[in-house]
């Protein structure tokens, strides 16, 4: 009888251990390694679906993803912003949302940043002796033939141009971008790694580089103001398991250190999403490929 009672207790104890909540997370390709090593620590049963940021965002907006997404992570502000703008995200109710700086989250709670990349000005030892304090200063005639940029199609560059438009106005921002194009040493590079290699090899002496790229040379400093792009996260409107999605986002936001915003212009990063098309057209007119 005692053995039978013990068996019943063990069975009931095992039944109390409910399986972890299932959550499907769509992540951009460049986030895959981090996601696989980090998100399972949440205690949830995480299924990670990988794709380029625009494509996975398009699928979620069009309700064409399979399996159905509970959480979306994007590589830039534009994708998470447009997902919210198209009604594909649901409001976050996590208390930790309040820890995220106002500049790095949606005012309607549709998304938050889980990291940002600042666009810094980089110089090598061979750079001309010119005072550069702002992005616009990279268009100075003394820097002709010395500037390197990455492609205007990269999210961080589009966010930078969008914020130039917001702060300066459309025509002044276009004059700035045209001055960069006149000073180019090489055609814009496809990747940040190629740009850093060019700086380190002496192919160019100045550049706009990401805070996350490289170590050591080139020297980097934050202009006033400094613009940035983000990795965004949110729970999808048509989540199959929205409760688990909310739980995962809350865990992620509790694990991410509150970002320090150096030389910020004080404006919400969502503006860069709103002005993305204006930024694209400006770059096209200015010959910035």
Give the pLDDT score at 218: 62
- pLDDT exceeds cutoff 60 at 225: yes
pLDDT band at 217 (very low <50, low <70, confident <90, very high): low
Region 176-193: mean pLDDT is: 96
HEC assignment per residue over the chain:
CHHHHHHHHHHHHHHHCCCCCEEEEEEEHHHHHHHHHHHHHHCCEEEEEEECHHHHHHHHHCCCCCCCCCEEEECCHHHHHHHHHCCCEECCCCHHHHHCCHHHECCCCCCEEEEEEEEEEEECCCCCCCCCCCHHHHHCHHHCCCEECECCCCHHHHHHHHHHHHHHCHHHHHHHHHHHHHCECCCCECCHHHHHHHHHHCCCCEEEEECCCCCCCCEEECCCCCCEEEEEEEEECCCCCHHHHHHHHHHHHHHCCCCCCCCCCCCCCHHHHHCHHHHHHHHHHHCCC
Give the pLDDT score at 215: 45
Give the pLDDT score at 6: 40
- pLDDT exceeds cutoff 70 at 264: yes
Report yes or no on 2 lying in a domain: no
Per the structure, the complete domain to which residue 137 belongs is given by: 117-227+273-286
Question: Tell me: the pLDDT tens digits for 101-132?
Answer: 999 999 999 999 999 999 999 888 766 677 78
107 with 49, same domain? Answer: yes
pLDDT band at 260 (very low <50, low <70, confident <90, very high): confident
Domains of the chain: total:
2
26 with 154, same domain? Answer: no
Give the pLDDT score at 4: 43
Report yes or no on 8 lying in a domain: no
- pLDDT exceeds cutoff 60 at 80: yes
Residue 215 or 132, more confident: 132
57 with 37, same domain? Answer: yes
Q: Which one, of 131, 130, 147, lies nearest residue 181 by Cα?
A: 147
Residue 98 CA to residue 106 CA, distance in Å, equals 11
136 with 237, same domain? Answer: no
CB 256 within 8 A of CB 31: no
Report yes or no on 218 lying in a domain: yes
Position of tokens 């039944």?
15
47 with 188, same domain? Answer: no
165 with 218, same domain? Answer: yes
Min mean pLDDT across 83-92, 150-159, 217-226, 229-238 is at 217-226
Report yes or no on 11 lying in a domain: no
Report yes or no on 196 lying in a domain: yes
Report yes or no on 4 lying in a domain: no
236 with 251, same domain? Answer: yes
Region 42-55: mean pLDDT is: 97
CB 152 within 8 A of CB 74: no
CB 183 within 8 A of CB 147: yes
Question: Tell me: the pLDDT tens digits for 131-152?
Answer: 789 999 999 999 999 999 999 9
Q: What integer best gives the mean pLDDT of the chain?
A: 90
Residue 151 or 215, more confident: 151
37 with 178, same domain? Answer: no
pTM > 0.85: yes
153 with 278, same domain? Answer: yes
């Amino acid at each position: 009888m005692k053995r039978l009672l013990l068996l019943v207790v063990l069975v009931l104890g095992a039944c109390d251990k409910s399986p972890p909540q299932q959550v499907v997370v769509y992540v951009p390709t460049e986030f895959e390694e981090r996601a696989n090593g980090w998100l399972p620590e949440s205690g949830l049963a995480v299924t990670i679906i990988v794709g380029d940021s625009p494509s996975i965002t398009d699928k979620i907006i069009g309700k064409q993803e399979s399996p159905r997404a509970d959480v979306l992570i994007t590589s830039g502000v534009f994708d998470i912003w447009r997902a919210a703008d198209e009604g594909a995200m649901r409001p976050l109710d996590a208390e930790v949302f309040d820890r995220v700086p106002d500049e790095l989250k949606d005012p309607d709670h549709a998304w938050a940043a889980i990291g940002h990349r600042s666009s810094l000005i980089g110089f090598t030892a061979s750079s001309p002796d010119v005072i550069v304090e702002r992005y616009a200063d990279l268009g100075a005639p003394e820097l002709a033939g010395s500037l390197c940029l990455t492609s205007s199609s990269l999210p961080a560059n589009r966010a930078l141009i969008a914020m130039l438009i917001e702060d300066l106005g459309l025509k002044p921002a276009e004059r700035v971008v045209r001055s960069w194009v006149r000073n180019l040493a090489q055609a814009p590079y496809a990747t940040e790694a190629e740009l850093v290699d060019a700086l380190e090899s002496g192919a160019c002496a100045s550049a706009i580089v990401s805070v996350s790229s490289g170590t050591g040379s080139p020297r980097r400093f934050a202009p006033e103001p400094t613009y940035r792009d983000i990795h965004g996260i949110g729970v999808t409107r048509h989540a199959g398991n929205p409760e688990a999605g909310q739980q995962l986002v809350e865990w992620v936001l509790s694990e991410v250190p509150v970002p320090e915003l150096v030389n910020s212009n004080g404006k919400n990063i969502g503006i860069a999403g709103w002005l993305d098309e204006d930024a694209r057209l400006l770059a096209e007119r200015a010959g910035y490929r």
